[in-house]
Amino acid sequence: MSIIVLTCDTKKEKCPNRIRWERSVNKQKLKYSILGENKLWQGWKWRIKQYLDGLIKLENEKKYTYAMITDCWDVIIQRRPNKKEYKILDNTVILGAEKQKTGIFSFSEKYKDNKWHNINGGFYIGKISNLIILYKEVLHKWDACKIHKKVNDQHVLSYVFMYSKFAFNIQLDVKKRFVLNFTKNVNKQEYIYKHKSIYSKTNKNIYKPIALHNPGNPKKPIHNLNNLFNLIVS
């Protein structure tokens, strides 16, 4: 299956976290592209535009069918998608889910009893053609979300998830099958206890997510997770 991994990083010098991300992608023998290099960071809407332009270029080149879009400072890739997952992606764009309330009010109210029903913009995966349609819609609906004091990609994705209609499905990965987004109350001990299959190098038959995401300020990562990510990638 032809898939490429995209990320956006404006830094001229690679930080250790970016190097770890690249190492994890290379370890899985996945092709990747870095968008935004040597450019000035201009905000979340600008990042969406970088991804959209990159996806349009890929569609025109007709080399890849699918794309996985991830953050790079706090994400590692620990396996490739399988045939069953590619079949899901033919008609579905998967978005990462998390516990933190990061969406618009109407989204948070609708899913307030479902703690994992919150969108994290650090991971998307789907057909390139469908991702282009999604990103165009996000940019189109950006101004509609300006009623919020602070607007980022997760606010607008929540709005699109609630109110936009597509010929394909948009699915929140609440079961964490594609990506596990950690939350601030997770430490290394809890992670190892509850998710042994994810970091295990011995039992290849137990299911594990494609990606792991340690969301938040990379200078203040979730306790001990960066060390654990290094262990998994090594």
**Region of residue 29 (left: phi > 0; alpha: psi -120 to 50; beta: else):** left
What integer pLDDT is reported at residue 18 of this predicted model? 92
What integer pLDDT is reported at residue 227 of this predicted model? 74
* Angle value at C-alpha 20, between 14 and 22, nearest 5 degrees: 75
Q: What is the CA radius of gyration of the chain?
A: 17
* Structural domains counted in the chain: 1
User: In this structure, what DSSP letter does residue 143 have?
Assistant: G
Residue 225 within a domain: no
Q: Which domain CATH number covers 92?
A: 3.90.550.10
Residue 230 within a domain: no
pLDDT along the chain (234 residues), means of 10: 93 87 95 94 96 98 97 92 95 93 87 89 97 97 79 92 96 92 61 47 63 76 70 81
What integer pLDDT is reported at residue 197 of this predicted model? 45
Domain boundaries, position 127: 3-176
Residue 210 within a domain: no
What integer pLDDT is reported at residue 193 of this predicted model? 37
Retrieve residue 153's tokens.
């990609």
Output the pTM of the full model.
0.90
Residue 32 within a domain: yes
Residue 73 within a domain: yes
**CB distance 180 to 116 below 8 Å:** no
What integer pLDDT is reported at residue 92 of this predicted model? 98
Residue 221 within a domain: no
